[in-house]
Amino acid sequence: MSSTTSCVLLAICIAVAIPSGDAIGMRSLRVQRGLREPVAARSARAPILRWITQPVDHFNTRDNRTWSMRYYENDQFLSGSNPPILIMLGGEWEITTGWLQSGQMFNIASAHGAIMYYTEHRYYGGSRPTEDTRSENLQYLNVDQALADVAYFIEAKKKERGLESSKVVVFGGSYAGNMATWARLKYPHLIQGALASSAPVFAKADFYEYYEVVTEALRRSDSRCPLAVNQAFESIEELLRTPKGPSRLSKFFQLCEPLDATNSLDVSSFAEALASSFAGVVQYDEVDSTGKTGADRICDVMTSSALGSPLQRLAYLTRLTSDCRDVKYRSTVEFYSATEWESPAVSGSMRSWLYQTCAEYGYYQTANSNKSVFGSLFTIETYHELCKDLYGDYYTPALLESAVKRTNIVYGGNNPDVRNIIFANGDLDPWHVLSVLEDVGHSAPAIVVPDSSHCQDLYGDAATDSAKMTAAKARIRKIVGEWIAS
């Protein structure tokens, strides 16, 4: 469940620029970069970096250990006797300053004299509750503890600023959208409203619907595109069944080592890496100044007969600009087994996020659907194996199913009993399938924007916005304004 424009979904770049972010699933040696940073407004003041002391374990009063949580603050609009408090919640990424300098929350703060904060989620960025991320230390990484961090933060800031009577509204996108929903659900006495953008609040182990939505996005771009993609992946499966096929595929896709067709984990990693080239574009798709989307550009390649067969087009689309591609499953395990905060696996946020998927959410994007066009080679069994290999034999498929069930029971899945929450989604965002898509009563509206992707409603108005996106953003500002004024 968040992006920048650098090619970091894989630890190596591919020919078509794929935005990185919080798309969830196993991609070889990748890092998390969070939501794409909005461009700072000219009037924006530079936010101040601050720290606040938090308990390591909020639920064990005999444990008096503490740690320092990082956050940014911007009070440039602060005015009035009971000004609102607006908080952007960090998710599975390192927080930066842009969300306090532009975007929906910034515009609302400007209109209502609010103070703004951006809080960092424990175990991401510089917010480090334990000495490292060994499995035994990751027991304190869960949404219950993270939500308590938010509650303690609000209490502390209200007291510090003398704002005990101020309204609080939280904002979050993707997993942080879950956080916003659940913070309002769990701490309604502290939080008066929430914007949950692209929030996959329904936990699901085998999230095969993800690639169904990617397929539909390609179809909307060009009806010939999904057929070509499907033909390419069928060709891969056919070649894997022939003696020389794996060698041909290894050369086609510039693999560092020959693909072993007998190793299902390597094959799964290889196929998922290719499919993620499409997923990354669709999830964060936008209309550019020429009127084209990323899906349009991908489909231009996949439907071009001048580039050869569909398989050759796929190879062209994902061809490396340099070096080779390592799709060995064992390389993924070795990379993410590092536990030091300074290691790329941890500083890039993926070791922490993979743990949360194993222990709370699943969200594993698989090819387990005949409605997607990406073959059948990457399955949930690969993720089951990854959880055990990274965090220990305790993390079994049965544990995952139990954890997913627990998350949905405790927080209500996609049918929560809530008020004063806006659930905003784009119907081309693969994550919208797990969100709330119908109003939960009058005070918890669901806004679904056609032909829109991940978290687009969190940004300020743009010239490339559709009329329906412009209307959705205006509606969000109006509703939040009503919460603040009530």
Of the pLDDT bands very low, low, confident and very high (cuts 50, 70, 90), residue 404 is very high
In the CATH hierarchy, which top-level class contains the domain 48-203+412-485? alpha beta
Q: What is the pLDDT of residue 66?
A: 98
The pLDDT tens digits of the residues spanning 109-141 come to 999 999 999 999 999 999 999 999 999 999 999
Amino acid at 73: E
Looking at 174, 268, 277, 372, which residue is catalytic?
174
Among 114-128, 141-155, 181-195, 321-335, which stretch is predicted with the lowest mean pLDDT? 321-335
Q: What is the pLDDT of residue 33?
A: 54
Taking Cα atoms as reference points, which of 156, 169, 193 lies closest to residue 84?
Answer: 169
DSSP state of 336: H
In this prediction, residues 412-435 reach a mean pLDDT of 96
Taking Cα atoms as reference points, which of 278, 322, 350 lies closest to residue 18?
Answer: 278
Share of the chain above pLDDT 90, in %: 87
- Average pLDDT of the chain? 92
Three-state DSSP class for 14? strand
Q: What is the pLDDT of residue 315?
A: 94
In this prediction, residues 186-202 reach a mean pLDDT of 98
Residue 14: both structure tokens together: 């591919």
What's the rounded Cα separation, in Å, for the pair 226 and 296? 12
Share of the chain above pLDDT 70, in %: 92
In this prediction, residues 201-213 reach a mean pLDDT of 97
- pLDDT > 90? residue 379: yes
Of the pLDDT bands very low, low, confident and very high (cuts 50, 70, 90), residue 12 is very low
Looking at 3, 454, 457, 465, which residue is catalytic?
454
Which alpha helices (DSSP H) does 165-319 contain, by range?
175-186, 209-221, 225-240, 245-252, 264-283, 294-302, 310-317
What's the rounded Cα separation, in Å, for the pair 424 and 427? 10
The pLDDT tens digits of the residues spanning 63-108 come to 999 999 999 999 999 999 899 999 999 999 999 999 999 999 999 9
CB 191 within 8 A of CB 154: yes
The pLDDT tens digits of the residues spanning 291-315 come to 889 999 999 999 999 999 999 999 9
Superfamily the domain 205-404 falls into: Serine carboxypeptidase S28, SKS domain (1.20.120.980)
Our answer to whether residue 429 is catalytic in this structure is yes
Phi, psi of 440 (to 5 degrees): -100, 70
Of the pLDDT bands very low, low, confident and very high (cuts 50, 70, 90), residue 289 is confident
Our answer to whether residue 454 is catalytic in this structure is yes
CA–CA distance from 105 to each of 41, 192, 244 (Å)?
12, 15, 56
What's the rounded Cα separation, in Å, for the pair 377 and 284? 24
In this prediction, residues 464-480 reach a mean pLDDT of 97
Our answer to whether residue 189 is catalytic in this structure is no
Q: Give residue limits of the domains in the chain.
A: 48-203+412-485, 205-404
The pLDDT tens digits of the residues spanning 238-281 come to 999 999 999 999 999 999 999 999 999 999 999 999 999 999 89
- pLDDT > 50? residue 22: no
- Spatial neighbors of 27 by CB under 8 A, at least 6 apart, are 9, 10, 272, 273, 276
In this prediction, residues 392-402 reach a mean pLDDT of 97
In this prediction, residues 337-350 reach a mean pLDDT of 96
Of the pLDDT bands very low, low, confident and very high (cuts 50, 70, 90), residue 321 is low
Higher pLDDT: 34 or 355? It is 355
What's the rounded Cα separation, in Å, for the pair 227 and 229? 5
Among 15-29, 111-125, 141-155, which stretch is predicted with the lowest mean pLDDT? 15-29
- pTM exceeds 0.85 for this model: yes
DSSP state of 166: -
Phi, psi of 119 (to 5 degrees): -95, 145
Q: b/e string for 104-126 if b means 16 or more Cβ within 10 A?
A: bbbbbbeebebbbbbbbbbbbbe
Of the pLDDT bands very low, low, confident and very high (cuts 50, 70, 90), residue 320 is low
In this prediction, residues 6-32 reach a mean pLDDT of 34
Looking at 22, 296, 326, 429, which residue is catalytic?
429
Taking Cα atoms as reference points, which of 37, 5, 9 lies closest to residue 458?
Answer: 37
Of the pLDDT bands very low, low, confident and very high (cuts 50, 70, 90), residue 322 is low
- pLDDT > 70? residue 377: yes
| Residue 52 CB coordination number (10 Å) | 17
- pLDDT > 70? residue 8: no
